Chains A and B, each alone.
Chain A
Amino acid sequence: MDEKLEQAVVDIVGKDNFTHNIIDLVSYSCDASEHSHRPLCAVFPETAEQIAHIMKLANRENIPVTPRGAGTGLSGMAVPIRSGMVLDLSRMNRIIKISIEDRLAVVEPGVIYATLEKALAPKGFFFPPDPASGKVSTLGGNVATNAGGLKGAKYGTTRDYVLGLQVVLPDGRIMRTGSKAMKSVSGYDLTRLFVGSEGTLGVVTEITFKINPRPTATSTALATFDNLEDTGNAINQIMHSGVIPSALEILGRETIAAINQNTDLNLPEVEAMLLVEADGYTRGETEYQIQKVLGIFEANHPREVKQAKTDAEVTNLWAARKSAYPVLSRIKPSSVLEDVTVPMTHIADLLKGVQDISKRHDIPIATFGHAGDGNLHPQILYDGYDPVQVEKKEKAIRDLFELAIGLDGTLTGEHGIGLSKAPFMTLEHDPVAMDMMRTLKKTFDPNNILNPGKMALEG
């Protein structure tokens, strides 16, 4: 970037909020995906007004701008693939207001999920959509990616909790969407358009969230199965039994084996394991739910059914689930974590299909995920420095997406399109839908300045 332009940026954000230091540029070249590209500079804006000025300048000078939260995304959404400028929003990190009376929290985008959780806990409230990266991910990033989490089946995703936003548009205008009221049908739902838009339509500078009373009791149980049909049947029956578990997680055979190799948890080596949690406000309430689930487990030929009786048992079970991604990541130098999602009735087909793909391309794919909302995480393990393995990975990914779409599912339940899945957008969306998305992008960002190169919006 030439010196005059740099000075213009510094004039907006101040010298301490600008960097072109190689140390920073390298860190901004990546997120948690396999993609990388260095920007020319990065800024740490502190106000919506600064961002407005930046966007005006970027439009005038044709500089690509990529907004960034904590960079924990798994699809390359925060990777500045067209270089330009990274907008690191982590310094806009104030919790502006928590109003228990109005059941809402107003935050800046750089507030970390866990920080809001910590602030809400003493008040007996919580913000349910809890991504696995919640200790580090920013709420702005959660909004931009419509982050999900373990509790999706019962509590939904980030989208279900955003009441309103302040957004800086690509042309530098500042806009408010939504309302601080619990419900509003006033005009087009611009708020929802921005949630999950991956920073391609505007920069979110303030978020108003709905918050929930925090459940105070939980019951936890597990079941293991020797075949996937029984597992799939159990999941389906639970989900239409009238009980909606706060978590219903699945671990596949390869995942269980990897956990056993790397921990002392000694899980039974079965085809699949289901882990379920029911939450509520009294022990009676959670026990009622878990008994119903246990009955369904028993009716579907389990190898074993077990209810966690002590806190230590509960902790161990969730430790097993949470160790899935880490232990799998250690097996090969590289891995890709997918998040295909299908209607509940197709979960067993998806599980079997993933095993077939793994065999067909002779590449290890381990599966775990959120069975309760049909969202699986097949993790493909490979060596990024081995071209043969990279090719196998590419083929397996294509087959996986075709499988999910063939089962009336979606490419992505919670990780987003970004760069990784952009080539597959047309697999899921028909030409008219693609045209509408591209038209929307042009309406908001005619010069394609904001996070260009993502979501196949340039086709």
Chain B
Amino acid sequence: MEAKYEFEKKFRKQILQCSRCGFCQAVCPVYGSTLRPGLNARGKMLLLKEVMDGHLELNDQLGESLFQCTTCASCFENCPSGVEVPEIIKQARKDMVNVGSCHPAFEGMHKVLQKHTNIYAEDEPEDFERERNQKAEYVYFIGCVGSYREDEATLETLELLDKLKVDYTLIDEVCCSGVLEDVGYNIHPELARKNMDLIFHTGAKTVITGCPYCFRTFNNKPQYIQLKEKNIQVVHITQFLQDFDFPVSTDLRVTYHDPCDLGRHCGIYEEPRKTIGKIASNFVEMPDNHEGALCCGAGGGVRGAFAKNSIAMARRRLEQAEEVGAEIVLTECNSCVHNLSNAKLRKQKFKIYNTTQFINQLMEEAE
């Protein structure tokens, strides 16, 4: 029988490889906050197997599970059978969209980016009091969350780059649109075109991104292949900063939250720790860290589509920060900062920052 859906054509073997051991249940953030096994990776693979076997239709009734995945990849990291769940989920979401079953929030993201240049449909871009589209050695690419939701963090990051005398420019950036690949759609080629043209115009040989997701998109997606072809390197700011020294330090108890997009998806664990090690003598790991880090709950479109559970996931992460007595929670992703900050309870006295933002604050205090 010929496969009906793309997910089956591409991933049939892997879906059958799921031995149903349930080990993903121990690490799935969605399961952790709902205790519903139908929402963890095993539950999702079972649903897709039922679809392949003709026992279930791929339609709206599966959306609550298939669309509720942050693509954090902790299941894949812990899967004895090596099932690449996030990739399977992304493909299944595309199949869902093809049959006309899509979460309204996901469809909304797609539609917004057809009309607007950013995921929040904001028409007045923050200018961060800096000239744009200049000739420079580096382009600093902020990303939508950093531009429109965590703009204070971005401003402080830019101030730090100024203090470090980095020759950078901002551009009239548009959404990289990589997230659309996660929610059942595709990158919009015209957005990719615009970003690349703006980058080329600056003459920069390196793009520094403030967002791990933009970093992944620029480096891995074929729509951005011209960056590689023109020998333009794309680095995340945590990689860029690791070679700098900072004339400041803190005694506060600092912990670090590994963003899934930087950690499990890119293997970048030590660069941020190296930088934090230079400025924080009292560093402590949360119980789940590095490859085992617990997701903040924001990814894969979940924050928009399942806001309540997204916050519940962030709360579980913050409980770990509380458990180790952290006073400062650092991370390297505006999306994580945003979700964790939204979830923080009043009684939780720690502060949540991007590493760059925190270093800038220390330097301001020292001045």
Tell me whether A and B are bound partners.
Answer: yes
Interface residues of A (CB under 8 A from B): 19, 21-33, 44, 70-72, 88, 90-91, 112, 114, 133, 135-136, 325-326, 329-330, 333-335, 384-385
Chain B residues positioned under 8 Å from A22 (CB to CB): 56, 61-62
Query: Hey, what's the 0/1 contact readout for B23-50 against A, CB within 8 Å counting as 1?
Result: 1011000000001111110110011001
Stretch at the interface among B13-21, B102-110, B119-127, B338-346: B13-21
Interface residues of B (CB under 8 A from A): 13, 16-17, 19-23, 25-26, 35-40, 42-43, 46-47, 50, 56, 61-62, 64-65, 80-82
CB distance from A389 to the nearest CB of B (A): 13
Q: B63 — nearest CB in chain A belongs to which residue?
A: A23
- Say whether A133 contacts B47, CB under 8 Å: no
CB distance from A250 to the nearest CB of B (A): 19
- Say whether B21 contacts A23, CB under 8 Å: no
**Which of B13, B25, B62, B82 has a CB less than 8 Å from the CB of A23?**
B62
- Say whether A26 contacts B23, CB under 8 Å: no
- Say whether A325 contacts B80, CB under 8 Å: yes
Measured CA separation A88–B43 after assembly (Å): 14
Knowing A23-B64, A325-B80, the reply to whether A133 touches B38 (Cβ < 8 A) is no
CB distance from B320 to the nearest CB of A (A): 12
**Which of B37, B40, B62 has a CB less than 8 Å from the CB of A28?**
B37
Total residue contacts A-B, CB cutoff 8 A: 88
Knowing A30-B46, A326-B81, the reply to whether A24 touches B17 (Cβ < 8 A) is no
Chain B residues positioned under 8 Å from A21 (CB to CB): 38, 61, 64
Measured CA separation A181–B348 after assembly (Å): 41
**Which of B19, B35, B42, B47 has a CB less than 8 Å from the CB of A91?**
B35
Q: B79 — nearest CB in chain A belongs to which residue?
A: A326
- Say whether A27 contacts B38, CB under 8 Å: yes
**Which of A33, A71, A114, A385 has a CB less than 8 Å from the CB of B37?**
A71
Q: Which of A22, A136, A385 has most chain B Cβ within 10 Å?
A: A136
- Say whether B16 contacts A72, CB under 8 Å: no
- Say whether B23 contacts A136, CB under 8 Å: yes
CB distance from B216 to the nearest CB of A (A): 27
- Say whether A27 contacts B37, CB under 8 Å: yes
CB distance from A132 to the nearest CB of B (A): 9
- Say whether A329 contacts B22, CB under 8 Å: no
CB distance from A123 to the nearest CB of B (A): 16
Knowing A70-B22, A133-B23, the reply to whether A90 touches B17 (Cβ < 8 A) is no
Knowing A114-B26, A329-B80, the reply to whether A26 touches B46 (Cβ < 8 A) is yes
CB distance from B16 to the nearest CB of A (A): 5
Query: Could you name 28 residue pairs across A and B whose Cβ atoms are closer than 8 Å?
Result: A19-B36, A21-B38, A21-B61, A22-B62, A23-B39, A23-B43, A23-B62, A26-B38, A26-B50, A27-B36, A27-B43, A27-B47, A31-B20, A32-B19, A32-B20, A32-B21, A44-B35, A72-B21, A88-B35, A91-B35, A112-B26, A133-B21, A326-B81, A329-B81, A330-B17, A333-B16, A334-B16, A335-B19
CB distance from A378 to the nearest CB of B (A): 16
Q: Which 3 A-B pairs have the closest CB atoms?
A: A326-B80, A27-B38, A27-B43
CB distance from A64 to the nearest CB of B (A): 19
Knowing A26-B43, A26-B56, the reply to whether A71 touches B17 (Cβ < 8 A) is no
Chain B residues positioned under 8 Å from A112 (CB to CB): 26
CB distance from B301 to the nearest CB of A (A): 17
- Say whether A23 contacts B22, CB under 8 Å: no
CB distance from A79 to the nearest CB of B (A): 11
Chain A residues positioned under 8 Å from B80 (CB to CB): 325-326, 329
Q: Describe B's contact surface by its main secondary structure.
A: helix
Measured CA separation A31–B25 after assembly (Å): 12
Chain A residues positioned under 8 Å from B36 (CB to CB): 19, 23-24, 27
**Which of B17, B42, B46, B47 has a CB less than 8 Å from the CB of A333?**
B17
- Say whether B39 contacts A32, CB under 8 Å: no
Measured CA separation A32–B42 after assembly (Å): 10
CB distance from A113 to the nearest CB of B (A): 10
- Say whether B61 contacts A135, CB under 8 Å: no
Q: B46 — nearest CB in chain A belongs to which residue?
A: A26
Chain A residues positioned under 8 Å from B35 (CB to CB): 44, 88, 90-91
Knowing A23-B61, A330-B17, A330-B82, the reply to whether A32 touches B22 (Cβ < 8 A) is yes
Q: Which of B19, B35, B81 has most chain A Cβ within 10 Å?
A: B19
Measured CA separation A31–B22 after assembly (Å): 8
CB distance from A137 to the nearest CB of B (A): 8
* Known A24-B38, A133-B22; further 15 A-B contacts with Cβ < 8 A: A21-B64, A22-B56, A23-B43, A25-B38, A27-B40, A27-B46, A30-B20, A30-B46, A31-B22, A70-B22, A70-B25, A90-B35, A112-B26, A326-B81, A334-B16
Q: B53 — nearest CB in chain A belongs to which residue?
A: A385
CB distance from A443 to the nearest CB of B (A): 33
Chain B residues positioned under 8 Å from A88 (CB to CB): 35, 37
Chain B residues positioned under 8 Å from A335 (CB to CB): 19
Chain A residues positioned under 8 Å from B37 (CB to CB): 24, 27-28, 70-71, 88, 90
**Which of A25, A28, A136, A326 has a CB less than 8 Å from the CB of B25?**
A136
- Say whether A136 contacts B26, CB under 8 Å: yes
Measured CA separation A335–B18 after assembly (Å): 11
Measured CA separation A408–B297 after assembly (Å): 53
**Which of A29, A135, A384 has a CB less than 8 Å from the CB of B23?**
A135
CB distance from B15 to the nearest CB of A (A): 10
Measured CA separation A8–B160 after assembly (Å): 62
Q: Which of A44, A88, A91, A135 has most chain B Cβ within 10 Å?
A: A135
Measured CA separation A335–B19 after assembly (Å): 8
Chain A residues positioned under 8 Å from B16 (CB to CB): 333-334, 384-385
Q: B68 — nearest CB in chain A belongs to which residue?
A: A23
Q: A28 — nearest CB in chain B belongs to which residue?
A: B37
CB distance from A72 to the nearest CB of B (A): 5
Chain B residues positioned under 8 Å from A133 (CB to CB): 21-23
Q: B50 — nearest CB in chain A belongs to which residue?
A: A26
Q: B62 — nearest CB in chain A belongs to which residue?
A: A23
Measured CA separation A32–B82 after assembly (Å): 16
Measured CA separation A21–B37 after assembly (Å): 12
Chain B residues positioned under 8 Å from A136 (CB to CB): 22-23, 25-26
- Say whether A23 contacts B20, CB under 8 Å: no
Q: Which of A27, A31, A88 has most chain B Cβ within 10 Å?
A: A27
